[in-house]
Amino acid sequence: MDFVKHRGLIINREFFHILRQAGLDSFDALMGYTGGELIDERPVRTVVRLELEDGDVKRRFYLKRHYIPLKGRLKSILNPGGIGSARNEWQKMVMLKEHGYKTMEPVAYGEKKGVFETRALTLTEELYGAIRVEDYIPRLFKQNTPEDLKRKRRIIEKLALIARRFHQEGFNHQDFYLGHFLINPSTEEIFIIDLQRVQKRNRPVRRWVMKDLAQLVFSAINTEGFHGTDLVRFGHTYLGRKRFSPEDRRLIRQILRKACWIAEHTEKMLKRKNQTRG
């Protein structure tokens, strides 16, 4: 990928002309942008969707702006891998793109430190037509045609191949739920999102691989239309063999136990949250 430093931003050169034409080719301009549709608003972060012209075509982007107080900044210095960092999210996007994974398209990043607050932003292009895999599989299940069944199986095998490669290359996600995979139904391309906690090591670490797989299993068994046979199919593709060895079966049992723990923990958290609201 090719980036250029320009007026307080790191800009993906492919999008430089779009930002310049819109007058948004500086950190201050993007940070002070008042248009677009507000998607999310929190005390330390806002997310806005905006449309920019690229010739005769309108392209959609997501502008995420962070306002990090001094206390949060000190915490990020002590823990550089902190998940709240806009820089961390940007670096993970770029890293996964460079490793050939499909994820959000990094457009621009900027950061400016003040005495009492650090402001930072990321700009990404919309993944047009993409929906969450956890929403798409139930749709296929309800339509229930032979072609939809074949499509579901292809998607599960693609997920397994992505997960297998991801882990073999030393990556782990830490939020490896189906809700963090998007699919474009027309092309069946699958994208990995929510990258703030992604880690990269020189080799796979069993503990983190098991955590990822348990999270995926937990979300799969809570997704309508994702059956036990689909999990078996996923396992065969992920492990690269048609029959499970005794060691494979031990690993699968450990993953299932961890998925059950996640389910129990999630239920406790929801009960606690409901009691707090009550």
Domain ranges of the chain: 3-125, 131-277
Task: Label residue 80 by pLDDT band (50, 70, 90).
Answer: very low
- Answer whether 0.85 is exceeded by the pTM: yes
The domain at 131-277 falls in which architecture? Answer: Orthogonal Bundle (1.10)
CB contact at 8 A, 143 and 185: no
- Rounded Cα distance between 11 and 3, Å, is 5
CATH number 1.10.287 is the correct assignment for the domain at 3-125:
no
Nearest to 6 by CA among 184, 116, 247, 15: 15
Q: What number of helices (H) and strands (E) belong to the chain? A: 9, 12
Task: Provide DSSP, 136-160.
Answer: HHHHHHHH--HHHHHHHHHHHHHHH
HSE-up of residue 117 (Cα within 13 Å, Cβ side): 9
First to last CA, the chain: 50
pLDDT tens digits, residue range 37-64? 999 999 889 999 999 999 999 999 999 9
pLDDT for residue 84 is more than 70: no
Q: By three-state DSSP, how is residue 189 classified?
A: strand
* Dihedral angle, C-alpha 226, 175, 166, 148, nearest 10 °: 20
